[in-house]
Every structure is written in structure tokens, then in C-alpha cells.
Amino acid sequence: MKMQIISSSALAGGAMLLSVASASAESFKWASNTDPQTMDPHAVNSAPVLSFLNNIYEGLVRRNQDMSIEGSLAQSWEPLTGEDGWRFNLRQGVSFQDGAAFTAEDVMFSYGRASNEAADVRSWFAPVSEVRVVDDYTIDFVTKAPNPLFPDSIANFMILDKGWSETNGAELPARDAENFATMHVNGTGAFALASRDPGVKTVLVPNAGWWGKVEHNITEATFTPIGNAATGLAALLSGEIDFIQPIPLQDVAQVENRDGFKVLEGEETRVIMFGFGHEHDELLYSSDVSGSNPFQDVRIRQAAAHAIDIASIDRVLFRGKIEGASQLVPAGISGYSEANSDRPAYDPEKAKSLLAEAGYPDGFNFGLKCPNDRYINDEALCRAAASMFAAVGMNAELSTGPVRDYWPQLREDAFDMYLLGWSPGTFDMEHPIRFLMSTPNSEKKLGSWNFGGYSNARVDELLPGIQREVDPEARQAMVDEVVAITQAEVAYIPLYTQPLIWAAKDNVDMTQRADNFFMLRWVTVN
């Protein structure tokens, strides 16, 4: 199934546009399996955080209902004259929710905050060499080379009020700790935070001073994280909530057969994959291997890839809803490498042969870390994969837990192998190359989600060319080379593209975007 970025079909494609009709004002309750772990838009670069906070904070640009870029706090932008970079012309008359006026100084402050080493989103600004305030409503982002993708790459760069942040001691984000911005907000967006009880309930209300056109009819929006899928579905069908994302695939028919409810299906731009501790000199969770790391041998990584039976995973866990992935973006995304579209075949005998060739004829034990509340069927997927690994002699000690604990473990290198899902924020292959394949380099703001420390000098060399090349054929040739290298080295094991499965009462109209972001400003309750 090819990725469809734009679709108005009710039950197909990656971005589903439902009608937005006028209706009387209503309260709205929704749930998801993951609570946003912070209210700070620069502290954690994950979809649950960025999706939620896009309702409160705004950036210079944003993605609309069909995923294309449009102006937000910037009314327009154009390439700089005489140098590489972009000029953003800011919207005037915008206020933060506390009444403070929005100006270019807030953009400059937010850039410094988001590009700081303490920020989890700093890789967004790897191409930037300088930022200049021209006047109160004009700001220039100078890039190290031509960068046609830059406006797209900062669609989730959210602007904080400089004065509010400094007054409250939130000049920098607190990624693995807390500060004032962890629990409090002051954005320019369509909704404001009324109350926050982490892990329990978060309540939003409309921002009466919002500059934009109001298309929703919500008076109050209450979000509840529900980690147990059966509990979440019961809450929907009993009327306790109006909408939930996602629901288990096995429950689709149950919802569709109930009067008053509907299922929204699509395909997300997120690829689910396994990653390795490439830079780990020894396994951390093995009972029979000490002083070495078998995964540093490409033959072992190839064996792991050949052990995975995607067809069985699709049949048993996903009811035929997924398509196996060969690379870190789905087909249909800009830069997808058609020249490298084949994924490793399921071949357990070849996997065993590779293990023996690498010196492990009897296999070995290792640790597999996975979340249990982040991706659809994530724990079940990892249990199935652990069985497949065991069948060829790779015995995984599976450890699962909530995502609020999972990300810190990955940052602390507490894994041998791990599960990750990635959706390219720019809808271009450059994005995962920069975040997941580049050698981690804090100074250059590269590889910030490359937890395993994968490194290839040629990949690093090709990235700047991919970022600045405007000739499509020349650029694709460089991308193809990167994909070929990372496939040959099994930098990751791409598994499949994640489906989108939402469920709601049938009196709720909303937009299902291909990035799985849920935007309250497009919701009406009829």
C-alpha cells in the first residue's frame, strides 16, 4: 500500500479530511494510550508531546489538514538575498495567553532555547549558522548552505514568550527533570491549559484571544491517558469519552457494528523499527556473553533481520493492515529510495547460518527493550519478535514499560536492542538521515535520536549535499546511496508502516492527519 499524503476519502489514505460543520458549543473528552510527558515543547521530541502542544503553542509555520505547510506566526517567508537562508515576516497583533505581545524577540529567544544542548529538538537547527532580528516583525534564519527544506523542517518549532520564560526560571528546557514550563504553558494557540494532572487528566479551554479563525465548537476539552486498550474502548462505547486514538485492530468490527460510533482508518507516515547498540562494546543484558557485543558484527544484525516474519506479524497482530518497510520512511514520502525497496526476506535458516559464521552456532542471549504504551501493539510485537529471534538462537530477555520511563532508558544506553517508531517531520528522507543515521554530534546538532550510536563516514558526508541539492535526480542519487549503505550495514531493522486506527462517536467531526497529530481546532461536536 503506497503512502497517500492527501486524501478526502472517509476511510482511506494518510490524511482524512472530515466535514467541519457549524454546531452548538460542546464539551469534548478524548483519550490516548500515552500521556504527554511534559508541557515544554522543546524538552521532548516525540509525537505525543508535539501533537498535544500544537493545540496550545504555535510556530512560524504549521501543517494544514492535507499536511502542506502554511503560515502561522509567520505570515510569509522567502529566501534571503545574497546569502543562504530564509526571512520570516511575522504576524502582527498576536498576543500570548497572558496578554504579552508576540514579537521577533520571542522567536529569537525560542530559537536559542530550542537549539540549546538541553533541548531534545536541537537537531532541527543543525543547518542554521545565525539568526538575526531585523525588526519587531522580521527575523532571518541564515543557513550554512542552501536549504530548501528548512521551512518544512521547523513546522513543530513552537514559540515561547521570552518574558514569561525568564520570569519563571524556564530559560532552558528540562528534558529529564522539571521546571516551570514542564507543568505550565503560555502560548499563542487556539487552546489554553486549564488544569494538568500528569498521567490522570489534562483540561484545555479555548483561547479567547486567539488570532486565528475559529472552526471548532468546543467549550472545554478533557484529555485522559488510558494505557489499557480494553479500558479505553469500554470508555468510548459507554459514552465516557467522545474519541480515542488508537484502538486495537481486533476491535474495529466491534466499533463499526455499534450504532452511534465510527472508525477512522489511514496509514501513518511512521516506520516501526528495531535499533541496536552499535557503539556498545559489550552486551548489558546477556547471561552467556561477556566482554563483547555480537551486534557489532554485521552478520549478527543480518541474522536478526532475516529472523523477522513480517507476514505473520501482519496476519496475527495487525489483521492485514500493515506493509513491510525496507527503509526508515514509507513509500510515497519524498526521497523514498525505489532503488532499495526490497526488505530482508524471512529466512530462519540463513539467520542460523549467519550466526554460526559469526561464531555463535548455539546463539546467545541479549536484552530487548520496548515500550508498552507508545505504538499500536508494541508489547505484542516485541513478544512476537522475541519468539522469532529465539527460533534462530537469539534469545531475547524482553523488558517493557511505559514510554515515560522508556525514553530515559534509551538516552542512558540501557539496552542491547530497542524498538523505535519514526515519522519524518519534513515528510522527506533527509529527516531520519539527520536524526537517526548521522553520527551523534552535539556541536553539529546531529544524530539526537541515534541512540545506538550508528556511524558511517560516507553517510555523514552525504547529508549536507542532500540538504542543499535542488536538482531532484542528483539529490535522489545521494539518498539512494545512503539507503544502500544503511541497508547493507543493517543500521536498523525497518519493520512496517504503522496504521492509523481511531474511533469516535459519529456526531464528532475531525481531521485525521498522516502524522497522527490530533488538532482540536478542527473538531466539532454535532
DSSP 8-class letter at 211? -
Give residue-wise pLDDT tens across range 71-119. 999 999 999 999 999 999 999 999 999 999 999 999 999 999 999 999 9
Under the banding of pLDDT at 50, 70 and 90, the label for residue 335 is very high
DSSP string, 355-374: HHHTT-TT-EEEEEEEESSS
Based on its alpha-carbon atoms, the radius of gyration of the chain, rounded to whole angstroms, reads: 23
Contact 163, 108 (CB under 8 A): no
Confidence of residue 24 (pLDDT cuts 50, 70, 90): low
Which H or E element spans position 169?
Answer: none
Q: What does the alpha-carbon distance between residue 375 and residue 370 come to, in Å, rounded to a whole number?
A: 10
pLDDT (average), residues 228-242: 94
pTM of the model: 0.83
Torsion angle, CA of 76/423/455/411, rounded to 10 degrees? 100
Report pLDDT for 25.
66
Asked if residue 157 lies in contact with residue 60, where contact means CB atoms within 8 angstroms, the answer is yes
Q: Which residues on adjacent β-strands are paired with residue 422?
A: 271
Mean pLDDT, the chain, as a whole number?
93
Pairing of strands 85-90, 138-143: antiparallel
Angle at 209 between CA 103 and CA 96, to 5 degrees: 35
In the predicted structure, residue 10 carries a pLDDT above the cut 90? no
Closest CA to 246 of 512, 13, 501, 495: 501
Which pLDDT does position 444 carry in this prediction? 87
| Residue 17 confidence (pLDDT) | 34
CA-to-CA distance for 459 and 461, rounded, in angstroms?
5
What is the tens place of the pLDDT at every residue in 172-195?
Answer: 999 878 999 999 999 999 999 999
Lookup result for grid cell 478542527:
522
pLDDT at residue number 470: 85
Q: What confidence tens digit (pLDDT) does each residue in 489-500 have?
A: 999 999 999 999
Return d(Cα 163, Cα 194) in angstroms, integer: 21
Lowest mean pLDDT among 17-26, 212-221, 407-416, 422-431: 17-26
> Hey, how many other C-beta atoms are within 10 angstroms of the C-beta on 257?
8
C-alpha grid cell, residue 421: 517508531
Picking from 44-48, 126-130, 246-250, which range would have the lowest pLDDT averaged per residue? 246-250
Residues 6+ apart with CB under 8 A from 488: 298
Instruction: Write the CB contacts of 57 (distance below 8 Å, at least 6 apart in sequence).
Output: 41, 158, 159, 160, 185, 187, 188, 189
The pLDDT assigned to 3 comes to: 36
Q: Could you report the per-residue pLDDT of 264-315, keeping only the tens digit for each?
A: 999 899 999 999 999 999 999 999 999 999 999 999 999 999 999 999 999 9
Answer yes or no: are the C-beta atoms of 270 and 312 closer than 8 Å. Answer: no
